[in-house]
C-alpha cells in the first residue's frame, strides 16, 4: 500500500483528535478540538455525547484535508477512546437519553459501598479483574437506567443501546449499522468476564443491566465495518479499537511480558504486559485485557492515577499561578526543590492502590517561605510519586522487576518531571521519538487488520528512543521522599463523609 495512510481517531477526556500516520509511523497531519466539561455539582462529570461525535467527525475531516488526501487514500481507521465513560442512546433516533457520564464521575460511590458491604469484591475481581469503584462503567449504566424516566423499561424492550465512547463513535461512523465494542473496552465495564471473553450473566444480574442493551464484543484488530456514505468522502474500513491506555501500550511496542509504559494525560495510567496470564492483583491493581487478536487475549496489570496533567490545569485555571500549561516547567525549575511542600491532587478521590472515593486534595508542608514555584514543583512531583507507588505494587504482583519505564502523553515532554520520575523509581525512564503513542497504537491495530503492516515484529522495529533519563537520587533520599509522600497521602484520606 505505497501511497496509503491510516487515520487514528483519538477521543480523549478533554478533546477529540485525529492523526494521519504514514507507513513509518510518522505523523502526516493532525487536528484537535476541545469540548465542554460539564460539572452538574462537585464530584459529578458529564460530557455531551453529541458534541463528542461532532468534534470527532470534524477533526477527522480536517486531518484528511490538511494531509491533502482523499478518503480513498486512507487504508483504515483505528479508534482509541477515553475508557469507562458511558453513553446510552435510543436505537431508532440515535439520540442519547442523557449526557455521557465520564470515568471521573463519583455519583455511584454510594452504590459501590453497598456492593462492597454485600461482599461482592472477590466475585468482581475474579471475573472482571477489577476492584469495585465508581470509576468503571457498570454502576454508571445502572444509575442511568434507574434515574432517567422510562429508561429501564425501554432498555428491557431492546429500544436502547449502551456503549463506551468507542461504541458510540462506531455506531455513528457506520450510520447505525454496527453496535460493537472491543475486548479492551469491555474489560473496563465490571460487566465482562475477562477469562471467558463475554458479558457475564452473574455480573449483569448484580448490576441489574439487561443484556439487550449491550454491544457485541470483538477483537481489537479486525475489520468491523465501513464509514457511512457522505461522512468522509468515500467509505473507509474501521479496523482497530482499543481503550486509550491499551492503545498506548501497543503504540509503545510493550509487546513482551514485563514491559511497561506510563501515559501522562489528564490522569496517569501505568500498564505492564503479563502476556497470556491474567495475573490477579494482591495490591489492588486491575487485571485488564491489553488487546485481543482473533480469539487470543493478551493481559496487563494496570494502575491508574486519576489526576495527573489535570493538576497542571488546576494550577492554571484554579490557582492562576501559570498562564498556560507549558509555563509549569519554567516556574518549577526556578526553585531547587519543593521546599518541603507536598501536593496530593485527590480532587476526585484516589485511584490505585488506595481506591478511596472520599479522599480530597491536600497541600502540606507550607511555610511563610512557600512560593508559587514550590507549589508548582510539588504538583509535578505528585504525579511521579503516584506513579512510583503503582510500579512498586506491580512488581509485587507480577514478580517482574521493571528494567525501564516507557513514557508518553502530554506531560512526558516535561524534562524536570521525567528526571524526577526516574529518581523516585530508581530505573531509567525512556521517552520515544513519537509521544502520540495512544493514536499510534490505534493506527497499528487498524493497519495490521488490513495488511498495511505485516506483523507485530515490524511494529516493534519502528519504536525509537528520543531521550533516556537515568536515576540520580540516592537510595536513602528516595526512601525518605517516598515516606514523606505517603505521610501526605494519609492526611488526604477519607476526608468526605460517605453519603447515606
Please determine, for residue 105, whether its predicted confidence score (pLDDT) is greater than 70: yes
Domains of the chain, residue spans: 5-245
Confidence of residue 275 (pLDDT cuts 50, 70, 90): very high
Q: What confidence score (pLDDT) does residue 496 get?
A: 82
Please determine, for residue 500, whether its predicted confidence score (pLDDT) is greater than 60: no
Query: What are phi and psi for residue 277, nearest 5 degrees?
Result: -105, 125
Please determine, for residue 498, whether its predicted confidence score (pLDDT) is greater than 90: no
Q: What confidence score (pLDDT) does residue 75 get?
A: 97
C-alpha to C-alpha distance for 310 and 132, rounded to whole angstroms: 24
Average pLDDT over residues 70-91: 96
Higher-confidence residue of 185 and 267: namely 185
- To the question of whether residue 15 is assigned a binding role by annotation, the answer is yes
Q: Which set of grid coordinates corresponds to residue 52?
A: 463528542
Question: What percent of the chain is predicted at pLDDT more than 90?
Answer: 83
Please determine, for residue 348, whether its predicted confidence score (pLDDT) is greater than 90: no
Q: pLDDT digits over 238-262, tens only?
A: 999 999 999 999 999 999 999 999 9
- Calculate the average pLDDT of the chain: 93
- To the question of whether residue 13 is assigned a binding role by annotation, the answer is yes
* Residue 367 and residue 339 in contact, taking contact as beta carbons nearer than 8 Å: yes
- To the question of whether residue 414 is assigned a binding role by annotation, the answer is yes
- To the question of whether residue 14 is assigned a binding role by annotation, the answer is yes
* Residue 408 and residue 456 in contact, taking contact as beta carbons nearer than 8 Å: no
Q: What confidence score (pLDDT) does residue 22 get?
A: 94
For domain 5-245, which CATH number applies: 3.30.420.40, 1.10.640.10, 3.90.1150.10, 3.40.50.2300? 3.30.420.40
Q: What confidence score (pLDDT) does residue 421 get?
A: 96
C-alpha to C-alpha distance for 467 and 408, rounded to whole angstroms: 12
Which residue has 502476556 as its cell numbers?
A: 275
Confidence of residue 2 (pLDDT cuts 50, 70, 90): low
- To the question of whether residue 82 is assigned a binding role by annotation, the answer is no
Q: Which set of grid coordinates corresponds to residue 419?
A: 528526571
- To the question of whether residue 447 is assigned a binding role by annotation, the answer is no
Average pLDDT over residues 14-19: 94
C-alpha to C-alpha distance for 295 and 292, rounded to whole angstroms: 7
Q: What confidence score (pLDDT) does residue 466 get?
A: 94
Please determine, for residue 302, whether its predicted confidence score (pLDDT) is greater than 60: yes
- To the question of whether residue 410 is assigned a binding role by annotation, the answer is yes
* Residue 108 and residue 143 in contact, taking contact as beta carbons nearer than 8 Å: yes
- To the question of whether residue 296 is assigned a binding role by annotation, the answer is no
Confidence of residue 365 (pLDDT cuts 50, 70, 90): very high
Q: What confidence score (pLDDT) does residue 306 get?
A: 82
Length of the chain: 500
Considering Cα of 182, then 187, then 190, then 196, what sign does the dihedral take? positive
Q: What confidence score (pLDDT) does residue 434 get?
A: 84
- To the question of whether residue 386 is assigned a binding role by annotation, the answer is no
Q: pLDDT digits over 392-449, tens only?
A: 999 999 898 999 999 998 888 889 999 999 999 999 999 999 878 999 999 999 999 9
Higher-confidence residue of 500 and 134: namely 134
Q: What confidence score (pLDDT) does residue 493 get?
A: 92
Q: pLDDT digits over 449-496, tens only?
A: 999 999 999 999 999 999 999 999 999 999 999 999 999 999 999 888
- To the question of whether residue 83 is assigned a binding role by annotation, the answer is yes
Q: pLDDT digits over 116-140, tens only?
A: 999 999 999 999 999 999 989 999 9
- To the question of whether residue 264 is assigned a binding role by annotation, the answer is no
- To the question of whether residue 357 is assigned a binding role by annotation, the answer is no
SS (H, E, C) the chain: CCCCEEEEEEECCCEEEEEEECCCCCEEEEEEEECCCECCCCCCCEECHHHHHHHHHHHHHHHHHHCCCCHHHEEEEEEEECCCCEEEEECCCCCECCCEECCCCCCCHHHHHHHHHCCCHHHHHHHHCCCCCCCCHHHHHHHHHHHCCCHHHHHHCCCEEEECHHHHHHHHHCCCCCCEEEHHHHCCCCCEECCCCEECHHHHHHHCCCHHHCCEEECCEEEEEECCCCCCCCCCEEEEEEEHHHHHHHHCCCCCCCCEEEEECCCEEEEEECCCCCCCCCCCCEEEEEEEECCEEEEEEEEEECCCHHHHHHHHHCCCCCCCHHHHHHHHHCCCCCCCCEEECCECEECCCCCECCCCCEEECCCCCCCHHHHHHHHHHHHHHHHHHHHHHHHHHHCCCCCCEEEECHHHHCHHHHHHHHHHHCCCEEEECCCCHHHHHHHHHHHHHCCCCCCHHHHHHHCCEEEEECCCCCHHHHHHHHHHHHHHHHHHCCCCCCCC
Q: What confidence score (pLDDT) does residue 499 get?
A: 60
- To the question of whether residue 99 is assigned a binding role by annotation, the answer is no
- To the question of whether residue 313 is assigned a binding role by annotation, the answer is yes
Amino acid at each position: 500500500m505505497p501511497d496509503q495512510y491510516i487515520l487514528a481517531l483519538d477521543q480523549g477526556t478533554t478533546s477529540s483528535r485525529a492523526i494521519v500516520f504514514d507507513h513509518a509511523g510518522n505523523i502526516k497531519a493532525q487536528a484537535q478540538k476541545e469540548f465542554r466539561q460539564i460539572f452538574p455539582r462537585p464530584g459529578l462529570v458529564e460530557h455531551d455525547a453529541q458534541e463528542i461525535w461532532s468534534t470527532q467527525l470534524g477533526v477527522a475531516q480536517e486531518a484528511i484535508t490538511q494531509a491533502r488526501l482523499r478518503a480513498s487514500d486512507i487504508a483504515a481507521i483505528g479508534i482509541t477512546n477515553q475508557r469507562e465513560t458511558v453513553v446510552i442512546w435510543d436505537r431508532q433516533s440515535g439520540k442519547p437519553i442523557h449526557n455521557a457520564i465520564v470515568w471521573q464521575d463519583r455519583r455511584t460511590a454510594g452504590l459501590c459501598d453497598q456492593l462492597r458491604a454485600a461482599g461482592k469484591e472477590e466475585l468482581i475481581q475474579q471475573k472482571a479483574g477489577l476492584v469495585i469503584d465508581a470509576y468503571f462503567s457498570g454502576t454508571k449504566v445502572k444509575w442511568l437506567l434507574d434515574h432517567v424516566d422510562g429508561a429501564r423499561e425501554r432498555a428491557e424492550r431492546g429500544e436502547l443501546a449502551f456503549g463506551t465512547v468507542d461504541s458510540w463513535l462506531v455506531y455513528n461512523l457506520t450510520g447505525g449499522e454496527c453496535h460493537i465494542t472491543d475486548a479492551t473496552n469491555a474489560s473496563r465495564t465490571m460487566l465482562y468476564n475477562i477469562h471467558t471473553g463475554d458479558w457475564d450473566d452473574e455480573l449483569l444480574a448484580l448490576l441489574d443491566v439487561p443484556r439487550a442493551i449491550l454491544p457485541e464484543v470483538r477483537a481489537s484488530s479486525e475489520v468491523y465495518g465501513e464509514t457511512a456514505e457522505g461522512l468522509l468522502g468515500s467509505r473507509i474500513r474501521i479496523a482497530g479499537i482499543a481503550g486509550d491506555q491499551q492503545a498506548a501500550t501497543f503504540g509503545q511496542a510493550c509487546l513482551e511480558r514485563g514491559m511497561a509504559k506510563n501515559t501522562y494525560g489528564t490522569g496517569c495510567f501505568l500498564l505492564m504486559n503479563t502476556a497470556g496470564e491474567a495475573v490477579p492483583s494482591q495490591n489492588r491493581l486491575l487485571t485488564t485485557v491489553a488487546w485481543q487478536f482473533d480469539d487470543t487475549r493478551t493481559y496487563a496489570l494496570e494502575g491508574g492515577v486519576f489526576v495527573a496533567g489535570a493538576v497542571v490545569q488546576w494550577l492554571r485555571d484554579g490557582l492562576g499561578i501559570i498562564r498556560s500549561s507549558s509555563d509549569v516547567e519554567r516556574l518549577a525549575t526556578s526553585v531547587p526543590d519543593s521546599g518541603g511542600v507536598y501536593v496530593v491532587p485527590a480532587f476526585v478521590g484516589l485511584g490505585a492502590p488506595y481506591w478511596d472515593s472520599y479522599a480530597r486534595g491536600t497541600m502540606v508542608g507550607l511555610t511563610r517561605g512557600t512560593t508559587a514555584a514550590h507549589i508548582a514543583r510539588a504538583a509535578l512531583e505528585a504525579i511521579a510519586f503516584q506513579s512510583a507507588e503503582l510500579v512498586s505494587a506491580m512488581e509485587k504482583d507480577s514478580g517482574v522487576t521493571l528494567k525501564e519505564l516507557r513514557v508518553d502523553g502530554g506531560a512526558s515532554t516535561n524534562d524536570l518531571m521525567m528526571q524526577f520520575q526516574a529518581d523516585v523509581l530508581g530505573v531509567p525512564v525512556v521517552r520515544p521519538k513519537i509521544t502520540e503513542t495512544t493514536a499510534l497504537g490505534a493506527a497499528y491495530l487498524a493497519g495490521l487488520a488490513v495488511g498495511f503492516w505485516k506483523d507485530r515484529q515490524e511494529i516493534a522495529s519502528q519504536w525509537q528512543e528520543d531521550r533516556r533519563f537515568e536515576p540520580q537520587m540516592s537510595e536513602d533520599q528516595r526512601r525518605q521522599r517516598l515516606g514523606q509522600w505517603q505521610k501526605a497521602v494519609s492526611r488526604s484520606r477519607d476526608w468526605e463523609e460517605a453519603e447515606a
